[in-house]
Structures are given as structure tokens and as C-alpha cells.
Amino acid sequence: MRDLQRQVNETLAMITARWKRSPRIGLICGSGLSRIIEPLRPEAVFSFDELPHFVPSTALGHAGKLICGEWHEMPVVAMQGRLHFYEGYTLAEITYPIRVMKSLGVEILIVTSASGGMNPQHRPGQIIVLDDHINMMGDNPLAGWNDDELGPRYPDMSQPYDVELSNRAIEIARQRGIVLQKGIYVGVKGPNYETRAEYRFFRMMGADVVGMSTVPETLVAVHAGMRVVGLSTITNVCLPDALSPTSGQQVIDVAHKAASQVRQIIDGLIQTESRNYHSELFRD
Ligand code: HPA
């Protein structure tokens, strides 16, 4: 997409006409997790339909809004609802909002999702902080022409999820009595949940959780030089030898119940960033 920067500038013009702030933190709400942004005080809200070059969200439980506002005295931009590969969009379309967030000033991206847990110790409602991922989507948002101004042709992926921020998330969770363990996420296209043989295969590959998102956004965010934290709520436990059926509604319901814990972790991360930012200002 050779004219990506021009398109981003057009979207940016629409956002900055109504919101003049420069957010350092961006957030993506996963399935059933729209409540995690309750503490965000909205200052400007855009529906994906009204933003140039955004595509509308069609997924169950995804509102399709870009919310710009303040959280712990920090400007924050959040996607309430996300775009998925299974909706029929290209990975470039799905990750376009990440390019927009980057040009607004975002340095830290918090990506949340729902996932199936394949580790026998997992329980529904438990949250995982992503340590790494495996791309099984059969495509890559960075394929095609590369704009060297936006990021390198061959980006390093040795540590896609920021270690310091992930460890901070674990410490915040510990202080609040929330169990938070590291895990490896395998990203698939969907939209069906996996067969028993697929869950077994993904577990053998070394993955702990499986989901239909996160990987494309993380790839683009890392390409753009952002620090990424990934939080995933296990909505269904997928043990191939004793597999219960799963539905989209079940995934949304379990994620919805766990949302307050995800919100507490994010709240702690933003509070720490706000303290760091304001003490830096004070030092200058
Ligand atoms: N597989 C893929 N995506 C998911 C699952 C699953 O089991 N649960 C929630 N999202």
C-alpha cells in the first residue's frame, strides 16, 4: 500500500480536528472486553464508519469505536472493538488503526483478547500476559511493499512483547490478588473454533492459548517501534481428550466477567506510566 502515509494523514486530520492531544498509550479491547475502558474519560469518540480508510467492525461484541480521552491524567486512545481477519478484511485493513495510533504519538500498545486455553492448568476467566506468539494466520500484515519511513523491511521479532511492561503487569496483578501468568499465543484466522486435532497440534507446537486476533496488530506495532503488552482472557479450556463445545456467546460472557480484572491491570499500567511521565516533566 504505497500511499499508506497519505491515507494515515487523512484519518489524522479528521481526528485532530476534534481532539488535539498526543496519546502515548493505545489500547485495543478484545471480545467481551469493552468494559475495560470504563475509567477512560472520553473527549472525542469516532465510529469506525466515519473515519476515512477505517473499515467497519462486524464481529460479535465489538462496538467499532475509536475513543480518545483521558485516563490517570494521560491522553489515551482506545479501539472499542477490533477488526479480524475472519471478517474478510486484509491484514493491512485490520492493522490500519495501529498506523493511525502511531502517527497520533502512541508509544505503548496494550492489546487485549479472548482466547482458548490449551494448558491443562488453565481455568476459564484466567488472564495470561503474552510472552510470545506464533503466527498461524497464513498471512502477514508486513508483506508487500515496505515504507522504510514506517519501519524496517525485516523487523526483528525476538521479543515482540515488552519484558519490562509485561513484568510490571504481573507485579500489578500480584498486588491486586489477580493470578497472571505468562503464556504463548498462537494466532489463527478463524472464524471456527478449533478441532480436537488442531488444539492438540497447537499445544504440541508450544502454544498455551489460541485466538483469532492480536498477532497482526503486534507485528505492525513492533514494525512501527512501539512497545507492546498483550493480555488475553481464557474463555474456554480446550483439552483435546475431553473437549466441550464452545460458542461465540460463551466466549463473550466469560470475557465480560473477567473484564474487571483486565481493567485493574491496565489501570495499574497507565497509572505507572502517568507517574513516570509526570515525574519526567517535573525533572525538566
Ligand atoms: N480458539 C480460537 N479463538 C478463540 C478461542 C478458541 O478456542 N476462544 C476464544 N477465542
Q: What is the pLDDT of residues 236-267, one digit of tens each?
A: 999 999 999 999 999 999 999 999 999 999 99
pLDDT per residue over 55-100, tens digit each?
A: 998 877 778 999 999 999 999 999 998 999 999 999 999 999 999 9
From the CB of 194, is ligand 1 less than 6 Å away?
A: yes
Q: Which of 131, 183, 136 is nearest to 157 (CA)?
A: 131
Distance (angstroms) between ligand 1 centre and the Cα of 142 equals 24
Mutate to test the pocket of ligand 1, among 113, 210, 232 (most ligand atoms within 8 A of CB): 210
Mean pLDDT of the 172-197 span? 97
Contacts of 35 (CB under 8 A, 6+ apart): 256, 259, 260, 263
Residue range 115-123: mean pLDDT, rounded: 94
Q: Could you give the CA distance from residue 240 to residue 236 in angstroms, rounded to a whole number?
A: 12
High-pLDDT (> 70) share of the chain, %: 99
Q: Look at residue 125 and give its three-state secondary structure.
A: coil
C-alpha cell at 222: 513492533
Please give the Cα distance from 75 to 65 (Å, whole number): 16
User: How far, in Å, are 12, 15, 50, 72, 145 from residue 19 at the CA level?
Assistant: 10, 6, 15, 18, 31
193 lines ligand 1 (CB under 6 A): yes
- The answer on pLDDT for 126 being more than 60 is yes
Query: Is the CB of 93 inside a 6 Å radius of any atom of ligand 1?
Result: no
Distance CA 229, CA 249 (A): 26
0.85 surpassed by pTM:
yes
Nearest protein CA to atom 3 of ligand 1, as residue? 211
Alpha-carbon dihedral sign for residues 81, 84, 87, 93? positive
Q: Which three cell numbers stand for residue 51?
A: 473515519
* Strand 25-28 to 108-117 pairing: parallel
**Where do we find the cell 502477514?**
140
Q: Which residues contact 142 (CB under 8 A, 6 or more apart)?
A: 151, 155, 219, 220, 223
Enter the C-alpha cell of residue 113: 483478547
pLDDT confidence tier of residue 2, bands split at 50, 70 and 90: low
% of the chain residues with pLDDT over 90 = 91
**CATH for 4-283 (3.40.50.1580, 3.40.50.720, 3.40.630.30, 3.40.50.2000):** 3.40.50.1580
Which atom of ligand 1 is least distant from the CA of 188? 2
Residue nearest to atom 6 of ligand 1 (CA): 116
Please, are residues 166 and 182 in contact by the beta-carbon 8 Å criterion? yes
- Greatest pairwise CA separation for the chain in angstroms: 60
| Distance in Å, CA 211 to ligand 1 centroid | 5
Mean pLDDT, residues 47-62 taken together: 88
Q: Whose CA is nearest to atom 9 of ligand 1?
A: 115
Does the beta carbon of 115 sit less than 6 angstroms from any atom of ligand 1? yes
Compute CA distances 267 → 80, 181, 271, 272, whole Å: 16, 18, 6, 9
Domain boundaries, the chain: 4-283
Q: Whose CA is nearest to atom 10 of ligand 1?
A: 115
Give per-residue pLDDT as tens, 141-181. 999 999 999 999 999 999 999 999 999 999 999 999 999 99
236 in contact with ligand 1, CB cutoff 6 A: yes
Alpha carbon of 210 to ligand 1 centroid (Å): 6
Tell me how many degrees the CA angle 125-131-134 measures, rounded to the nearest 5.
Answer: 95
Residue 104: DSSP 8-state = H
CA of 202 to the centre of ligand 1 (A): 12
Mean pLDDT over each residue of the chain, to the nearest integer: 95
Q: Say if ligand 1 is within 6 A of residue 116 CB.
A: yes
172 lines ligand 1 (CB under 6 A): no
Residue 1 confidence (pLDDT) above 60: no
**Contact of 281 with 59, CB cutoff 8 Å:** no
Residues 6+ apart with CB under 8 A from 137: 85, 91, 187, 188, 189, 215, 216
